[in-house]
C-alpha cells in the first residue's frame, strides 16, 4: 500500500473536531492485566490496530476468553496470575515490540514453555535489554543471534526479586522487570536514568496491585494478585501528534482533538511544539481510570527552530518522526540530541527520516544520536517509510507544506497503530489517496 499526498500548500489547513484511536500502550496493558486478573474486566476505547490485536490474540491462544473488540469494547474473563495455559504454537506478535518485551516479563514466571516471534522488523529489534535483567531474576530466555527474536521462554523457573538500575530510558524494559517482579518473592525495584511513560504503574494500581513510586524508582511486591477492573482507554497522544504538527504547519488550521491522554510522561510532544512556537491549548481536563485526559485545540503557527532539551526526548520518543517534519517547516535550525533510541525502533527512525527529508529537498543531516535540520521549503518526491507506520504518517502530514506531490511507499503497517488514518486525515483537509498495490 502507498499514499499519494497532493502538494501545493494547503490554504485552509486542517479543520474540524475529531477523536483519534485509543492509546496503544494502554490498550496492550488492559488486555494483559485483565487476562491475569480475577474476575471480568470491561475495556472501552480499545485500539483495534494490529499491534494491540496481536496482544489480544496471544492471550486467547493461552486460554483466556475475550469477547470483542466491537466498537472499541472488549470483555475479558480473567484467569488469575497462574491461569494461563501453554499455547499450541509460537505466539506471533507481528510488529509489536511492546507486546514482546512486556510478555517476556509476564511469561517468565509461568509454569510452561512458550516462544515469542514477530515479523521481519520485530525480528531485528534488540531484546537483550529485557533478557539480561530477566536472567538476573532467575528466568531462562533463549534468543536468536545477537539477542534478537524469537524469544524462547523456559517455564517453571523460580524468580527472585531484585533491584535493577536500567542502562537506558525505556518504559518497555521497566515494565518487563516490574511484571516479572509480580511472580517473584519480595520487592522488585527498577530505577530509570530518565522519566519514561508510567502506564504500567498506573494500571497495575487500578487492578489492585501494590506499586510504589519514589523519584525515578518504581517497585512492585510479589507474589501479586490482580482484581478485575474497568478501563476507559483515552485517545492516543502519539496518534494525535500527527494532527498537532499538521495543524501547526498548515496555514488556516484550527482543529480540536477529543479525549486525548495527557499523561505527564507522554506530553513531551506538546512541550516541544510549544517551545517551537505552536498554538496549542488543552481544556476539559479530567481523570479517567487513573489517566489524565483532555481536549486539545491546535491552530496554525509560525514555528521556529530550537535545540530540543534532552530531558524531553524520552517523553516524546515515539513522536519524533513527525517532530522532524515540524522542524523542516520551522524557521531556522532544529537540533536533536540524546535520541539514539530512535535507531532501534520499527526502523532506524533517524536515518530513514533523514533520507526521506533529503529526498524532499530538506537540509537534514543524521547524527549518531539525533538530527540537525535547517527549515525551509519541502518539495515533492518519493519517500520510503521502510514499513514504519509513524514514518508513513509523518510524511503524509509533510504534504500540507510541500510544493509538489509526495509519494509514500510501504504504508501497510499504519494499521498497527492507526487504522483509518488516511480516511480521518482526509475529512480534516489533507488531500491523500491510498493505493493498494
Whether 419 has a pLDDT exceeding 80, the answer reads yes
What local confidence, expressed as pLDDT, does residue 148 receive? 95
What local confidence, expressed as pLDDT, does residue 8 receive? 77
Mean pLDDT of 238-244: 98
Domains along the chain with CATH numbers:
2-22+234-435 (3.65.10.10), 24-232 (3.65.10.10)
CA 389 to chain CA centroid, Å, is 11
Q: Which of 119, 318, 387, 388 is an active site residue? A: 318
- pLDDT tens string 96-129: 999 999 999 999 999 999 999 999 989 999 999 9
Whether 243 has a pLDDT exceeding 90, the answer reads yes
What local confidence, expressed as pLDDT, does residue 145 receive? 85
What local confidence, expressed as pLDDT, does residue 48 receive? 96
What local confidence, expressed as pLDDT, does residue 270 receive? 98
What local confidence, expressed as pLDDT, does residue 434 receive? 96
Assign 370 a pLDDT band (cuts: 50, 70, 90): very high
Whether 367 has a pLDDT exceeding 90, the answer reads yes
Calculate what percentage of the chain has a pLDDT beyond 90: 94
What local confidence, expressed as pLDDT, does residue 437 receive? 73
The more confident residue out of 415 and 161 is 161
- pLDDT tens string 308-352: 999 999 999 999 999 999 999 999 999 999 999 999 888 899 999
Conformational region of residue 235, where left means phi above 0, alpha means psi within -120 to 50, and beta covers everything else: beta
- pLDDT tens string 28-39: 999 999 999 999
Mean pLDDT of 175-204: 96
- pLDDT tens string 262-276: 999 999 999 999 999
Q: What is the mean pLDDT of the chain?
A: 96
Is-catalytic flag, 318?
yes
Whether 289 has a pLDDT exceeding 80, the answer reads no
Confirm if 84 and 155 have CB atoms less than 8 A apart.
Answer: no
What local confidence, expressed as pLDDT, does residue 290 receive? 81
Whether 291 has a pLDDT exceeding 80, the answer reads yes
Calculate what percentage of the chain has a pLDDT beyond 70: 100
Mean pLDDT of 356-376: 97
Amino acid at each position: 500500500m502507498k499514499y499519494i499526498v497532493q502538494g501545493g500548500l494547503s490554504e485552509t489547513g486542517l479543520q474540524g473536531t475529531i477523536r483519534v484511536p485509543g492509546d496503544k500502550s494502554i490498550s496492550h496493558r488492559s488486555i494483559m492485566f485483565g487476562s491475569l486478573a480475577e474476575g471480568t474486566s470491561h475495556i472501552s476505547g480499545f485500539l483495534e490496530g494490529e499491534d494491540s490485536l496481536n496482544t489480544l490474540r496471544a492471550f486467547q491462544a493461552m486460554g483466556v476468553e475475550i469477547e470483542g473488540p466491537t466498537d472499541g469494547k472488549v470483555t475479558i474473563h480473567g484467569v488469575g496470575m497462574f491461569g494461563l495455559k501453554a499455547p499450541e504454537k509460537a505466539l506471533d506478535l507481528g510488529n509489536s515490540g511492546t507486546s514482546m518485551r512486556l510478555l517476556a516479563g509476564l511469561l517468565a514466571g509461568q509454569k510452561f514453555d512458550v516462544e515469542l516471534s514477530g515479523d521481519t522488523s520485530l525480528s531485528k529489534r534488540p531484546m537483550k535489554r529485557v533478557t539480561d535483567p530477566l536472567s538476573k531474576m532467575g528466568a531462562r530466555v533463549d534468543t536468536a543471534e545477537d539477542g534478537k527474536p524469537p524469544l524462547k521462554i523456559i517455564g517453571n523457573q523460580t524468580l527472585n526479586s531484585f533491584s535493577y538500575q536500567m542502562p537506558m530510558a525505556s518504559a518497555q524494559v521497566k515494565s518487563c522487570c516490574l511484571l516479572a517482579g509480580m511472580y517473584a518473592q519480595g520487592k522488585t525495584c527498577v530505577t530509570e536514568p530518565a522519566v519514561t511513560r508510567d502506564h504500567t504503574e498506573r494500571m497495575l494500581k487500578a487492578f489492585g496491585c501494590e506499586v510504589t513510586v519514589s523519584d525515578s524508582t518504581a517497585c512492585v511486591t510479589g507474589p501479586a494478585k490482580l482484581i478485575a477492573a474497568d478501563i476507559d482507554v483515552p485517545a492516543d497522544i502519539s496518534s494525535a501528534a500527527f494532527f498537532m504538527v499538521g495543524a501547526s504547519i498548515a496555514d488556516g488550521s484550527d482543529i480540536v482533538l477529543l479525549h486525548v491522554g495527557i499523561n505527564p510522561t507522554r506530553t513531551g510532544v506538546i512541550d516541544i511544539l510549544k517551545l517551537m512556537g505552536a498554538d496549542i491549548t488543552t481544556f476539559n481536563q479530567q481523570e479517567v481510570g487513573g489517566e489524565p485526559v483532555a481536549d486539545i485545540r491546535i491552530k496554525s503557527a509560525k514555528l521556529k527552530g530550537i535545540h530540543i532539551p534532552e530531558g524531553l526526548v524520552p517523553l516524546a520518543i515515539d513522536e519524533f518522526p513527525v517532530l522532524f517534519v515540524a522542524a523542516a517547516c520551522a524557521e531556522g535550525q532544529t537540533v536533536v540530541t540524546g535520541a539514539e533510541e530512535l535507531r532501534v525502533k520499527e526502523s532506524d527512525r533517524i536515518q530513514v527520516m533523514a533520507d526521506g527529508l533529503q529526498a524532499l529537498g530538506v537540509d537534514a543531516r543524521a547524527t549518531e544520536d539525533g538530527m540537525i535540520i535547517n527549515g525551509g521549503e519541502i518539495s515533492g518526491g518519493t519517500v520510503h517509510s521502510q514499513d514504519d507506520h509513524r514514518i508513513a504518517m509523518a510524511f503524509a502530514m509533510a504534504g500540507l507544506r510541500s510544493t509538489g506531490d509526495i509519494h509514500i511507499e510501504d504504508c501497510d503497517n499504519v494499521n498497527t497503530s492507526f487504522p483509518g488514518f488516511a480516511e480521518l486525515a482526509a475529512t480534516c483537509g489533507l488531500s491523500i489517496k491510498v493505493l493498494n498495490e
